Structure 1
Amino acid sequence: MSHTAHIPSHRKPRRSSSKLALRAGVAGGVLSTIAVAAATGSANAEPVTETIEMPTLTSDLSAAVAQSAEATQQVALDLELQAREDAAAAKAAKTAKVAKAEADRKAEAKKKAEAKKRAEAEATERASRSSERTTLSAPTSNATGSAATVVAFLKAQLGDAYVMGGTGPNSWDCSGLVQAAFKTVGVDLPRVSEDQSVAGTQVGTSNLKVGDILYWGGAGSAYHVGVYIGDGKYLDAANPGKGVVIQDLSGYPASGAVRVL
């Protein structure tokens, strides 16, 4: 064994004879083709030209470009539509706000007008009531001192309501009104008609003075009272239908009278 046998060779491996033959055949064919072409070219003497075509856009790419343009246009249209819708909504909200403000203003004006109307009606009613009292109190008397004070108080209550058990200030029954009138001059009378009919000196109905207490029914069992104000008239809280009024004794003669002043 050689001392260099273990050292690997650095030579390239030889190609196989079959591969070399194939390559030789190909090369020979190419050379033959070139030779024929050269001979033909020499015979015809015509130059050889080659046309190179530039690549063109495919149909798919064209469609993609068109679709992109269409999408961009649609986005623009959508944005414009949204802007119009927003503007319309803002305008509608503003119109609604103005309409509400106008409705509120009209409602407030109506409320004020109704309040004014009620106030005017109340004022008219008060004026009418005052006029009625003045008319009803037309009869005059020669009352002086305490009697005049009693009569003035009674006339101030004209037109007030009659309410059973009422003692004022705006509703009375017959004895409640008489009691309140005489209290203004320091005379404390009993609360009910029966007791008021015997609270003073008995006098005949033909000899009445202003301020005398008239009663209907028997003394001590009277069912109604009033106060004589002169000129054949008396003032009393008559009944629920009349209230506090001035009446003529001739129409409803009293049973008797007592004098406490």
Structure 2
Amino acid sequence: MKISKERLIVTFLLAILIAFIPLGAAAPVGTSENATLEAANNWLGVKSVHGGNNTTAIDCSHLVYQVYSQVGAKDIFFQKVPDMKNNTDYVNTSSPAPGDVIFWQKDVPQNGRIYWLATHVGIYIGNNQFIDTSFDTKNVTTENITGVYEEGMPYFARWSRI
């Protein structure tokens, strides 16, 4: 059986890609679940304010950035939620583990059109719960996935830089 050079190269590149995808890791690759959950818990009670980025007030995307920075996620940088969603360093996972990122998507009207956009982000802590900047309490809090965000569709990802 003769294999074309192109097919061999594609197979080789695919094998390399698969070797570097963190299948069993949770939270940012190279960090501990416990450290990530502890860092997220340290933000509980902080006031939720759009654009906030410190222990006085914080928003959802800054919360994820701060938590992941605190635990040493390699090459992490701040991005707003839609940009995080499109960043290929956040690898989607169908098997969420504590410390992973949970994104919320929903139909959002913009410029006379409807877009399916990521609108909110938090840190998954397990047992269908996540830590986020709550719209209801106006603080960083723990919420249930089936609760406040029923109108949105959750999906999970993790920071994959090694």
- In structure 2, runs of 5+ residues without a counterpart are 1-25, 107-115
Structure 2 CA distance for aligned equivalents of residues 198 and 257 of structure 1 = 13
Inter-partner Cα distance in structure 1 for 2:131 and 2:41: 8
1:255 counterpart = 2:143: no
Q: In 1, Cα distance between the equivalents of 2:138 and 2:155? A: 22
Q: Hey, what does 2:131 align to over in structure 1?
A: 235
Aligned to 1:59: none
- Aligned residue pairs: how many? 118
Give the 5 Å matches for 1:135-146. Answer: 145-146=31-32
Aligned positions of 1:64-83 closer than 5 A:
none
2:111 aligns with none
Q: In structure 2, how many angstroms separate the alpha carbons of the residues matched to 1:257 and 1:179?
A: 16
Report if the CA contact (8 A) 1:215-1:224 is conserved: yes
Instruction: Work out which of the residue numbers 86, 110, 117 in structure 2 matches 1:198.
Output: 86
TM-score by length of 1: 0.41
Distance in 1, matches of 2:97 and 2:77, equals 18
What residue in structure 1 maps to residue 66 of structure 2? Answer: 180
- Aligned-pair distance for 1:185? 2.2
How far is 1:193 from its partner? 0.7
What RMSD in Å do the two structures reach over aligned CA positions?
Answer: 2.7
**C-alpha distance in 2 between matches for 1:150 and 1:197:** 20
Q: What's 1:43 paired with? A: none
**Structure of higher RCO (CA pairs closer than 8 Å, 6+ residues apart):** 2
Question: Which one has a bigger Cα radius of gyration?
Answer: 1
**Equivalent position SS for 1:221:** strand
On the 8 A contact 1:197/1:257 being kept in 2, the answer is no
Distance in 1 between the 2:57 and 2:91 partners?
Answer: 29
TM (norm. structure 2) is 0.63
Structure 1 spans left out of the alignment, 5+ residues: 1-141
Pairing of 1:111-190 with structure 2 (within 5 A): 145-187=31-73, 188-190=76-78
Bigger helix fraction: 1
In structure 1, the residue matched to 2:120 is 224
CA contact (8 A) 1:197 1:213 kept: no
